[in-house]
Amino acid sequence: EPEVTQTPSHQVTQMGQEVILRCVPISNHLYFYWYRQILGQKVEFLVSFYNNEISEKSEIFDDQFSVERPDGSNFTLKIRSTKLEDSAMYFCASSESTGGNEKLFFGSGTQLSVL
């Protein structure tokens, strides 16, 4: 079964450093998402992306965050200057289409630790 792949599985960085989290969505999917989950808290929506544009973003997704589809297969989340509070599990997801009847498939996540 096709799956969403995320790398790395764990990332440790120093506060103030830039990090790039990488995702390979399912190949025929056109809609891409990033979510995060701080330890012990809910899974939170960050951003959705379609046709090389951000479709929707949450309040969390401020100017420190950016997303990109640099080629035909990868989808990346960049955090420009990491803060301690950015420590979380980051999940990438993709869907074939959009709309209420379209399910999202999630990757296994990247655990980001900011020291």
Partner 1 sequence: DAKTTQPTSMDCAEGRAANLPCNHSTISGNEYVYWYRQIHSQGPQYIIHGLKNNETNEMASLIITEDRKSSTLILPHATLRDTAVYYCIVRKDDYKLSFGAGTTVTVRA
Asked if residue 23 binds partner 1 (CB under 8 A), the reply is no
Q: Which is nearer to partner 1, 4 or 79 (CB)?
A: 4
- Shortest reach from residue 40's CB to partner 1, in Å: 10
**How far apart are CB 39 and partner 1 at their closest, in Å?**
8
96 binds partner 1 (CB under 8 A): no
Does position 60 bind partner 1 by CB under 8 A? no
HEC readout, the chain: CCCCEEECCEEEECCCCCEEEEEECCCCCCEEEEEEECCCCCEEEEEEEECCEEEEECCCCCCCEEEECCCCCCEEEEECCCCHHHCEEEEEEEECCCCCCCCCEECCCEEEEEC
